[in-house]
Amino acid sequence: MDYYKKRIHDLAILGRLGRQQSDETSTWIQLLWFEFEQYLTELQPLFTQPLTEETVDCWGISSDQDTFLAPPEKEGLYLAGIQVKKGTVAPKGWTYWELPDQDYLVLKTNVLLVDQTVKEIFEVILPKEQVILTGAIQEFYAATDTPGELWLYCPIESSIELEKHHSTLLKR
């Protein structure tokens, strides 16, 4: 499986926020995307180009309810949205999130292969790259991709650097 590393700065997402038990994701996230697409035109005043599902790249940002951007445990949050400039004010009914600067492993897959891809991330790619996952895996849907294709953004940190950091703390 092909992948690459990428550092992202200043990622801000404006979208529709959902909250639900993390074991029920298949139904409520689909409904959230439907709601997002239905009301996307409300954001048009913030942009110069027309906003439609066919012209705008979309992000699906997952988070634990209690720890921002951690993998959802019992109850999860999911923001179905689009990238905006930092500091954008969210209109009523919309949610704005800023994500910290982060290194990612990026992989292209499709909705039918997400479970298989995530398994390969944990069993093959993370160990091979000597990195650890530091948060929830995020989704990116490029407007130019075929429907059903998506990019998984896996927040990472070098396991070697993390080990050095812990060693330094223990020496103190």
DSSP 75-143: EEEEEEEEEE-TTPPPPTT-EEEEEPPEEEEEEEEEGGGHHHHHHHIIIIIHHHHTEEE-S--EEEE-T
Q: What's the mean per-residue pLDDT of the chain?
A: 88
Angle at 25 between CA 54 and CA 27, to 5 degrees: 70
Domain encompassing residue 101: 3-171
> Where residue 18 falls among pLDDT bands split at 50, 70, 90?
very high
> Count of alpha carbons within 13 Å of 56, Cβ hemisphere only?
23
**pTM, 2 dp:** 0.87
What confidence tens digit (pLDDT) does each residue in 93-126 have? Answer: 999 999 999 999 999 999 999 999 999 999 999 9
Say whether pLDDT at 6 is over 90.
Answer: yes
Number of independent structural domains in the chain: 1
pLDDT for residue 28: 85
Query: 96: domain CATH number?
Result: 3.20.80.10
